[in-house]
A = this chain, B = another copy of it.
């Protein structure tokens, strides 16, 4: 079969204090903060930090974003204790929460993976970090690993009036509610 996964897109890490954990990763490893945003549907406030030197890669027009081999560290702070990440923290403490892989066609990938007998948590793609189309797969069918598929589609420049600087050293852009937060927008159907 053809490989469905194109790259390790990100590692999702659950933390109790997003600002402190951003500082930790920035100051220890020199990672660059690309976005800080809230996702109320998923009950998290989160940051995407680029791993690797900045370079324009496939689908990436911004020099601050990671090169094709980079990927992201995604830091996740729960908005409330009764969210999935809040429950994860209560049960297991801080640590790696999930792994996200890049795919070129998320609908096709979900179909193929479902046919292989893996249960989908999301029946249709939905909006994830930075406007990507994402879908989660059931960890019970994947050796205890909560697994996310990520498809980035097209690049559009971020609105200049949406740009913010803040104390975390974020070079990215925050958005208002309902607005894809970054330079990428999916042309696929998304839910939520």
Q: Which residues of A contact B (CB under 8 A)?
A: 1-8, 10-11, 13, 15, 21, 24, 27-32, 51-53, 57-58, 67-71, 92-96, 98-99, 101-102, 113, 116-118, 139, 142-145
Contacts and interface: CB of A to CB of B under 8 A. Distances in A.
Given A71-B71, A143-B95, A145-B96, A3 B21 contact: no
A68 to B, nearest CB: 4
Contact of A52 (B6, B99, B144): B6
B70 A7 contact: yes
A74 to B, nearest CB: 11
Tally of this chain's copies: 2
A30 B3 contact: yes
Contacts of A145: 13, 94-96
B24 A143 contact: yes
Contacts of A4: 29-30
B144 A28 contact: no
Contacts of A6: 51-53, 69-70
A71 B29 contact: no
B95 A69 contact: no
